[in-house]
Structure 1
Amino acid sequence: MSHESTVPGERDDPVVRAAEVPEPGAVTIVVPTFNESANIRELLHRITESVPARLPCEVVFVDDSTDDTPDVIFRAAQDCPFPVTVLHRDEPAGGLGGAVVEGIRAAGSDWIVVMDGDLQHPPCLVPELVGTGERAGAQLVVASRYMKGGSRAGLAGGYRIAVSRAATWLTKSLFPRSLRGISDPMSGFFAVRRSAVAAEVLKPLGYKILLELAVRGRPRTVTEVPFVFQDRFAGESKSTATEGMRFLRHLAGLRTASPLARMVAFGLIGASGFVPNLVGLWALTRLGVHYVPAEILANQLGVAWNFLLLEHLLFRERRRHRRWWDRAGRFALLANADLVLRIPLIALLVREFGVGALPATALALVMTFLLRFVGTEALVYLPRRSRGAAGRGAPGADEPKPAGSGSRTARRTV
């Protein structure tokens, strides 16, 4: 749900209306902000100095701030020669990536340039990003720190450099095809053709929206330009350990988007459940509990472990279809039914089909694994329902909402 408010002094002149029907090559600069009031005036000044008059331009700030950043933007934009829009979100769904998706939806130009509001991404590169895209016929142009002429100089300290390098290596290893031709998938500075972006297919989580665009959007032609990552103009970095965990969860969600990859991940998560199961069994038997009830109780530890990993790594985007207690109960029933079903299945294979005990056990494990995977997908994490059936599948308070849904967005244009 969104609402639009008109601020006093808002201009209704041809400059503003021109942004609604962009000329060829026009650019919308999308800037997600969170408490960046000290950087706004300088950022708009540098954009004004950098973007030539022949390149029609608008700037869209998508703001999740808790300080006076929206008011600072509005005041600083009064003297800008291009329209400036502020979309302030009451609820920052999807984090920085969700903010970028909101900006993409609001963009009215042929090209969209995404950049940070802290001046670590130099505005002087905006015309080059768009010009390179036009000359190359590219759908996506990435500003890269890791190609010749680029530099990560603005990364503060060896720790951040190491984290950035590790994240780059990990993403390129996980998505070699989607990221072919992109040397800096962690870049937050890029230009994309509006025609190449389907905002409804993006499911951002955290701050690495370029990865989301490249993997889900699959642009046909990608090119790069080098850039030197600058020092922050003012304020402090918003990178935290929490953002790092969100990034890892996002990677897991992207990598397991296909059914085959999801089944492999399901099996790996299931195998990891043996660790808490065995630890629990050891602890209970040490306490004197008989091995039969100890095995039953220890199995529940493995079930709980698997459920938590599935919730946060594999089926995060499907949690909205049922309440958490309903999902947990259904998963526990399926996981325990697996034990009950496996022994009769082994006996059937041995007695009726003459299969040896060892291969029968292996075959039963495979069969029950497939049944458990299909059952978990179909009965625990139901696919998205149509609007008419949404009543029972409404998201609970514990479940994530898609970026841009259910949040109120106030729009102000200068």
Structure 2
Amino acid sequence: MKTNSSHSLLTVPTGPLKILELPPNSVGISSESIHLSLVIPTYKERDNIKNVVSILSQLLDESIPGNYELIVVDDDSPDRTWEIAQSLLTEYPQLRVMRRQQERGLSSAVIRGWQAATGSVLGVIDGDLQHPPEVLTQLLRSVDEGADLAVASRHVDGGGVSSWSIVRRVLSRGAQMLGLVILPGVLGRVSDPMSGYFMVRRSAIANATLNPVGYKILLEVIGRGKVDQVAEVGYVFCERKEGESKVTWKQYIDYIHHLVRLRLSTGQVGRLSRKVNFPVRRFLRFGLVGFSGVFVDMAVLYLLSDPTTLAWPVTPSKIIAGEIAILNNFFWNDAWTFADVSARQQQWQQRLKRFVKFNAICLAGLVLNVLILNLVLNFIIPNRYIANFIAIAVVTIWNFWINLKLSWRVTDVK
């Protein structure tokens, strides 16, 4: 049996989001592993947390007494949820509390909790009682019977939602259908890939580096883990009684971003990237940003050079259009393509330095672009827009490779 001998907070793990194959030895905790580690990620759940811990403890004390731990991982809530949870440590010896001050996000909170966990089975449940606690025993039974992953689903027998609006139902189903198109090999394995209520064997995700976006940690577990057998248990998603909902449009955008990133990193593109040692995923992001710049470039070129608008000469029109597209591309590359580097170089001087380099490199590419444009326009295809598109495509590889080596240098980090 494991109990807390200290009222101190857990140390927040750092480094890659990777789960160890063997449970870590934590201060104040015996080295013997337990069966279930259940993570409860929280943010502004002051009004819920005491009730959640009480209900879960009572339930698990009846089913697996002393053979579990509850790990509250709080993202430094302004209502001091972590402090309320910490005050419960004496009353609930299986409870552990982590306060994160440097990181944010539900998915990463779950993984950090699992990194500190000692259980052979890892689970997650919301901290707002929207996930019915009584389903826990069914999920655990499924794992004990051989499942690598047991998911609480709203879309199997016994499942559903209590009082969702039509709009929310449509968005949920639409997100699932989109996921099936982008990542069928992952989302096709479960009926409710949006679920945030599940259990997984530690061995199924051990040593896999997880890289989540937003709330949908289950996508990472299925996409990057070694999950063979999957079980599903129906549950009814309930509306929260206390606190405020955290569902926003940003969560849907993060979901799409997550799907695309998983697709690129786990499919043929990811395997190709590892095989040839070329940053294929980063190049594809760079290409997508460049594609957005094409529309900016084309729109400005039309406004400046088309006979029905200003009718300026093609060359000066192209120079102005290209510079505006460069501004667009720098913003998106800094925020997305090279976000991992930018996050460690956030001072305005560093950002300005990156922009100057990016601009200089792209201006050199613009000179090349103008030459190709004129060559194609005058000698091959007498259509300014097709010629412009060909010129942009040729210069894209130049811009990516030089910017990778000079503008966003991974080694140029303090």
Taking structure 1 as the reference length, the TM-score comes to 0.75
Deviations 1:327-386 (A, max 9, x none): 33333333333332356679999xxxxxx8359978866543333333344444445x5x
Match of 1:136 in 2: 146
Residues 379, 169 of structure 1: alpha-carbon distance in 2 compared, 3 angstrom cutoff: farther
Distance 2:340 2:151 in 1: 27
Deviations 1:211-249 (A, max 9, x none): 233233353443322221122131221122344444444
Residue type at the aligned position of 1:127: T
The SS at the match of 1:37 is coil
The SS at the match of 1:164 is helix
Residues 332, 253 of structure 1: alpha-carbon distance in 2 compared, 3 angstrom cutoff: farther
2:262 alignment partner, one of 254, 279, 283: 254
Match of 2:332 in 1: 309
Distance 1:94 1:377 in 2: 28
Match of 1:46 in 2: 55
Asked if the contact 1:172–1:185 (Cα under 8 Å) also holds between the matched residues in 2, the reply is no
How is 1:254-403 mapped onto 2 (pairs within 5 angstroms)? 254-257=262-265, 258=270, 259-260=279-280, 262-283=282-303, 292-320=315-343, 323-342=350-369, 357-358=380-381, 366-382=393-409, 385=411, 392-394=412-414
Cα shift at 1:108: 0.5
Asked if the contact 1:256–1:262 (Cα under 8 Å) also holds between the matched residues in 2, the reply is no
Match of 2:187 in 1: 179
Cα shift at 1:118: 0.4
Residue type at the aligned position of 2:290: G
Match of 2:7 in 1: 7
Distance 2:334 2:82 in 1: 36
Aligned-residue sequence identity (percent) comes to 32
Cα shift at 1:53: 4.3
Match of 1:96 in 2: 106
Taking structure 2 as the reference length, the TM-score comes to 0.75
Asked if the contact 1:253–1:316 (Cα under 8 Å) also holds between the matched residues in 2, the reply is no
Distance 1:181 1:367 in 2: 40
Distance 1:290 1:90 in 2: 56
Distance 1:85 1:347 in 2: 67
Match of 1:400 in 2: none
Are 1:116 and 2:136 matched, yes or no? no
Are 1:225 and 2:233 matched, yes or no? yes
Residue type at the aligned position of 2:298: L
Residue type at the aligned position of 1:83: Q
Deviations 1:267-286 (A, max 9, x none): 34323223222333455566
Match of 2:91 in 1: 79
Asked if the contact 2:38–2:71 (Cα under 8 Å) also holds between the matched residues in 1, the reply is yes
Residue type at the aligned position of 2:230: V
Asked if the contact 1:151–1:229 (Cα under 8 Å) also holds between the matched residues in 2, the reply is yes
Residue type at the aligned position of 1:79: E
Deviations 1:109-152 (A, max 9, x none): 001110100011111122221221231342x2221112232112
Cα shift at 1:294: 3.6
Residues 44, 343 of structure 1: alpha-carbon distance in 2 compared, 3 angstrom cutoff: closer
Distance 2:73 2:296 in 1: 44
Match of 1:59 in 2: 70
Asked if the contact 2:318–2:370 (Cα under 8 Å) also holds between the matched residues in 1, the reply is no
Question: What's the RMSD between the two structures over aligned residues?
Answer: 3.5
Are 1:37 and 2:46 matched, yes or no? yes
- Equivalent residue pairs, number: 365
Asked if the contact 2:212–2:220 (Cα under 8 Å) also holds between the matched residues in 1, the reply is yes
The SS at the match of 2:192 is coil
Distance 2:294 2:392 in 1: 14
Asked if the contact 1:35–1:67 (Cα under 8 Å) also holds between the matched residues in 2, the reply is yes
Q: Which moved more, 1:303-312 or 1:124-133?
A: 303-312
Match of 1:159 in 2: 167
Asked if the contact 2:7–2:89 (Cα under 8 Å) also holds between the matched residues in 1, the reply is no
The SS at the match of 1:110 is strand
Match of 2:243 in 1: 235
Residues 282, 365 of structure 1: alpha-carbon distance in 2 compared, 3 angstrom cutoff: closer
Asked if the contact 1:32–1:96 (Cα under 8 Å) also holds between the matched residues in 2, the reply is yes
Distance 1:198 1:345 in 2: 51
Asked if the contact 2:294–2:392 (Cα under 8 Å) also holds between the matched residues in 1, the reply is no
Q: Which moved more, 1:171-180 or 1:34-43?
A: 171-180
Asked if the contact 1:19–1:108 (Cα under 8 Å) also holds between the matched residues in 2, the reply is no
Residue type at the aligned position of 1:142: V
Cα shift at 1:200: 7.1
Residues 241, 305 of structure 1: alpha-carbon distance in 2 compared, 3 angstrom cutoff: same
Cα shift at 1:19: 6.2
Match of 1:410 in 2: none
The SS at the match of 1:307 is helix
Residues 379, 183 of structure 1: alpha-carbon distance in 2 compared, 3 angstrom cutoff: farther
Residue type at the aligned position of 2:241: F
Distance 1:324 1:83 in 2: 47
Unaligned runs of 5+ in 2: 9-26, 271-278
